[in-house]
């Protein structure tokens, strides 16, 4: 292969996925959202589902996800993405349908929709970005905020006697009969990114094969909300978030085709 052939975009080992637009992302430097967006774009391309994918983005940092991934998107009210996804998948069972939600949206305002959608075994995938804080609206305490962690609304640290304990949504989802795959991953290293990609692909495959509901939690950073540099945020996540939200599959079954 000549030098001219090597530098052609189609021959490069690493390139931007075709489904990612050229729009500049609004996410803060170091945010995990951009990495997950890239993985989703790669997977949808590899599955050949670009024209048959419908994603649902709610309120939160991911509200503008439609601006970066060239697939069909439907906006949903805060927390209601799983309910919207349910309707779309039931109407179009041949579509790849997934939601993309943060912890404030999914684990607080949308807890009801999340739990019941998973419990019904709807053939959708839920991508859950857990950075333990409300990142978009000022860094308030979220249901996933760790004990002792300081936020705008618990400046002295989360106190279980006042605020209750952090909510482990994936652990709850793994106990539901309707879920076929529940996993917790991260994207802070190359090794973790590869595992996260494989997990999202499995969740998407489950959706198309009618095996039930899948939940992929991505333990993430919010360096702006945490008031840390990107490197420090990754270190803090590894030292504090991952021990409380350990990575790996919580449930993996072929399920019953519906």
Work out the percent of the chain whose per-residue pLDDT is above 90. 69
* Distance of alpha carbon 91 from alpha carbon 202, whole angstroms: 22
Distance (Å) of CA 239 to CA 7, 14, 126, 191, 192: 40, 30, 26, 17, 15
Q: Give CA angle at 31 (77, 220), nearest 5°.
A: 80
* Distance of alpha carbon 235 from alpha carbon 140, whole angstroms: 21
Per-residue model confidence as pLDDT tens digits over 148-202:
999 888 899 999 999 999 999 999 999 999 999 999 999 999 999 999 999 999 9
- What region, left, alpha or beta, does residue 79 occupy, with left being phi > 0 and alpha being psi -120 to 50 degrees? left
User: Does the pLDDT at position 3 exceed 70?
Assistant: no
User: Does the pLDDT at position 8 exceed 50?
Assistant: yes
Q: Give the pLDDT confidence score for residue 249 in this predicted structure.
A: 96
Phi, psi of 151 (to 5 degrees): -140, 180
User: Does the pLDDT at position 66 exceed 70?
Assistant: yes
Q: Give the pLDDT confidence score for residue 258 in this predicted structure.
A: 45
Residues in the chain: 258
Q: What is the mean pLDDT of residues 108-119?
A: 94
Q: What is the mean pLDDT of residues 245-249?
A: 97
Beta carbons of 72 and 55 less than 8 angstroms apart:
yes
As given in the structure block, the two tokens for residue 81 are 């993405």
**If pLDDT is split at 50, 70 and 90, which confidence band does 9 have?**
low
Beta carbons of 199 and 183 less than 8 angstroms apart:
yes
User: Does the pLDDT at position 103 exceed 70?
Assistant: yes
User: Does the pLDDT at position 257 exceed 90?
Assistant: no
Which domains occur in the chain, in start order?
Answer: 26-251 (3.40.50.970)
Predicted model pTM: 0.91
Q: Give the pLDDT confidence score for residue 62 in this predicted structure.
A: 83
């Amino acid at each position: 292969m000549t030098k001219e052939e090597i530098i052609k975009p189609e021959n490069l080992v690493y390139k931007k996925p075709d489904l990612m637009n050229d729009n500049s992302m609004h996410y803060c430097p170091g945010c995990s959202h951009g990495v997950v967006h890239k993985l989703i774009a790669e997977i949808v391309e590899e599955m050949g589902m670009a024209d048959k994918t419908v994603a649902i983005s709610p309120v939160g940092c991911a509200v503008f996800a439609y601006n970066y991934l060239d697939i069909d998107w439907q906006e949903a009210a805060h927390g209601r993405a799983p309910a919207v996804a349910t309707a779309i998948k039931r109407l179009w069972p041949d579509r790849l349908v997934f939601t993309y939600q943060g912890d404030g949206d999914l684990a607080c305002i949308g807890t009801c929709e999340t739990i019941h959608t998973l419990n019904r075994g709807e053939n959708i995938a839920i991508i859950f970005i857990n950075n333990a804080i409300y990142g978009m609206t000022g860094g308030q305490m979220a249901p996933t905020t760790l004990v002792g962690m300081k936020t705008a609304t618990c400046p002295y640290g989360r106190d279980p006697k006042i605020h209750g304990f952090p909510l482990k949504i994936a652990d709850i989802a793994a106990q539901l009969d309707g879920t076929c795959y529940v996993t917790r991953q991260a994207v802070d290293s190359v090794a973790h990114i590869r595992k996260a990609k494989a997990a999202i692909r499995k969740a998407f495959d489950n959706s198309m094969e009618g095996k039930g509901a899948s939940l992929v939690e991505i333990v993430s950073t919010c360096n702006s909300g945490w008031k840390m540099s990107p490197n420090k945020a990754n270190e803090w996540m590894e030292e504090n978030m991952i021990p409380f939200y350990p990575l790996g599959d919580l449930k993996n079954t072929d399920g019953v085709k519906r």
